[in-house]
Chain A
Amino acid sequence: MRTLRGRVAVVGIGETAYYKRGESPDAEFKLALKAILAACSDAGIAPEAIDGFASYSNDRSDPSRLAAALGCRELRFANMQWGGGGGGGSAAVGNGAAAVATGMAECVVVFRSLAQGQFGRFGQGPRRNVIQGDGAHTVPYGLMSPAQMFAMKVQRFMFDHQVVQSALRSISLASYHHAQNNPRAVMYGRPLDERTYEDSRWIVEPFHLYDCCQENDGAAAMIIVPAERAGDFAQPPAYLLSAVAGSHYRAGASVHNTPDYATSTFKTLAPRLYEMAGVSPGDVNVLQSYENFTGGVMMSIVEHGFCEPDACNEFFVKERFLAPDGELPLNTSGGNLAECYMHGLGLNIEAVRQIRGQSTNQVAGAQVSMVISGPMVTPVSASIFGAEGVL
């Protein structure tokens, strides 16, 4: 059978300090180098041994320049997931894993680096006099930011299933709760309560300020090696059980014309994700689900089979999502809302940390650790990591 299950392992993870956007003292490329070197140090691997790079969302830190800077003995794999922004996070992991599993490379680093002060911001409209193409059909009507692109989907989902605002709020509260135990988190020391959430300004209905991710500077990296070598390094390995990417029929139909509209884009992916991993939703011990906006998390959790769409108001309560004892611990680092928006790769790193037993919000004995990357875009992706015991 063709599968990635158990074929590769993550043996190193690394992050820079995380900053608010524009506040990194380091250039973007230097951030990438720092994260990769931190991952090498974590694993006990010489940087020279890296022979592949995988990233997403048109990361600007070019693999050949990285290999030259790091003195890599040889470059065998230089991969970019095409499209979907943060929806490429788990796809990049899957691409790197596929290269290692098939012998194309021996030691691949998956990374993402961002310095929005050095380059442009995500959350702003275009500054030009004219616009053409897809944008011409939306921007002149004031629809131009990610929040505005996705609020329309979430609004329709909430209408179809009579979802109330407290469901979205529970996701935000859980992320902020976990960030208070995580000194790396940008929102460490800045707790959020229900009142503050409700009193916060609307960005675009149904998203309050706290339903929206941060914009940050920093870099993150993880190192993938063949499963046969997984025991040779300093840390306990986190095996990849599954990685999938893609989208449904005509998800990319422009001007909001995808036939299945009010979706996180995971309906066709989730069955493949579970099938490759050989697990079901009930086996998942801890979940990291990409929060560009809380509404996307809600639809992601529904489409991965944790909750029926018409039961969101009962299911989405903060307590369910809190480590260590909640039924479905969610975004245990603080995630994109409260730890750092490292374009979602921080979620994959937290998933690995849970398998190792090293999270600041550890779920006791976590064996199956899942990541959902970048809802509502196309393509999206997802991955599941497992401890040695589940192989």
Chain B
Amino acid sequence: MNYLNTGLPAPIPAGDGLDKPFWEGLQKELLLLQRCSVCTGWQWGPEWSCHRCHSFELRYEEVSPVGVIFSYERVWHPVHPALKEQGPYLIVLVVLPQAGEVRMVGNLLGDPRQEVPIGAEVRGVFEHHNDTEPAFTLLHWELSNSAT
């Protein structure tokens, strides 16, 4: 079962191809983020050049999908028809220490009314949407100390 009700817009790679490897990676259960081939710095969200050394030699490198909750929000008011019957849901901003402290947005699995501990460790959970056209995969998070 998916975390959010179906019917939200499906993510597709940007028309200019900037984040295509990221989305293809998620479908293979790989988290691929940008890393500069010259200065080795990590970068996210995606951009065409490295903001540190201005090199265009950015590659997508595999990162272990584990992180720490940096902030969160519990959404109650639906702003999209697909979420009308959803009830509250949790969005987390997760920081990845092993990838230069870049941050990612995702949902926190489990009880949507749970208390969310900022600073807690989380691990990634891939949610495949293979029955949709186009197919895509989202990356969610769950507390590392929760039962698998």
Name the contact of B79 in the complex, choosing from A123, A159, A254 (C-beta under 8 A): A123
A145 touches B9 (CB 8 A): no
Q: Are B71 and A130 in contact (CB under 8 A)?
A: no
Q: Which chain B positions have C-beta within 8 A of A152?
A: 71-73, 91, 93
Question: Are A132 and B75 neighbours in the complex by a CB distance under 8 Å?
Answer: no
Give B57-93 as 1s and 0s: 1 = Cβ < 8 Å from A's Cβ atoms. Answer: 0000000000000111111110111010010110101
Q: Are A256 and B103 in contact (CB under 8 A)?
A: yes
Query: Using Cβ atoms and an 8 Å threshold, which residues of chain B touch A136?
Result: 11-14, 19, 23
Q: Number of A residues contacting the other chain (C-beta, 8 Å)?
A: 44
Question: Which single member of A123, A127, A133, A141 contacts B91 (CB below 8 Å)?
Answer: A141
Partner of B45, one of A130, A137, A201, A205: A137
CB pair A130–B73 under 8 Å, yes or no, is no
* Contacts known (A138-B105, A261-B70); A203 close to B93, Cβ less than 8 A: no
Q: Judging by beta carbons under 8 Å apart, are B72 and A155 in contact?
A: yes
| Inter-chain contacts of B138 with A (CB < 8 A) | 140-141
Q: Is the CB of B45 within 8 A of A140?
A: no
| A137 and B12 contacting across the interface, CB-CB below 8 Å | no
List which A283-325 residues lie within 8 A (CB) of chain B.
Answer: none
Q: Does A196 contact B (CB under 8 A)?
A: no
> Does the CB pair B11–A137 fall under 8 Å?
yes
- CB under 8 Å from chain B, chain A span 186-226: 201-205
Q: How many A-B pairs with Cβ below 8 Å?
A: 132
Nearest B-chain residue to A149, judged by Cβ: B73
Chain B residue contacts of A159, Cβ below 8 A = 71, 118
Contact of A261 with B73 in the complex, beta carbons under 8 Å: no
Is residue B10 contacting chain A, with contact meaning CB distance below 8 A? yes
Among A123, A141, A148, A262, the residue within 8 A (CB) of B4 is A141
> Would you call A257 and B44 a contact (CB within 8 A)?
yes
B75–A142 touching, CB < 8 Å: yes
Residues of chain B with a CB closer than 8 A to A123's CB: 79
B121 to chain A, nearest CB (A): 17
Q: Is the CB of A155 within 8 A of B73?
A: yes
**Is B25 close to A, CB under 8 A?**
no
Q: What residue of chain A has the Cβ atom nearest to residue B134's Cβ?
A: A130
Distance to closest chain B CB from A298 (angstroms): 16
- Contact check, A130 vs B11: say whether CB atoms are below 8 A apart: yes
Chain A: minimal CB distance from B108 (Å):
10
The answer to whether A142 and B89 touch across the interface, beta carbons within 8 angstroms, is: yes
Q: Which residues of chain A are within 8 angstroms of B41 by Cβ–Cβ distance?
A: none
23 A-B pairs in the complex with CB atoms less than 8 angstroms apart? A128-B9, A130-B10, A133-B14, A135-B9, A137-B104, A138-B105, A139-B8, A140-B136, A140-B138, A141-B138, A142-B4, A145-B79, A151-B73, A152-B71, A152-B91, A159-B71, A201-B77, A203-B77, A204-B74, A205-B76, A256-B103, A257-B44, A261-B71
**Additional 6 contacts, C-beta under 8 A, given A136-B23, A137-B11:** A144-B80, A148-B75, A152-B93, A153-B71, A202-B88, A262-B71
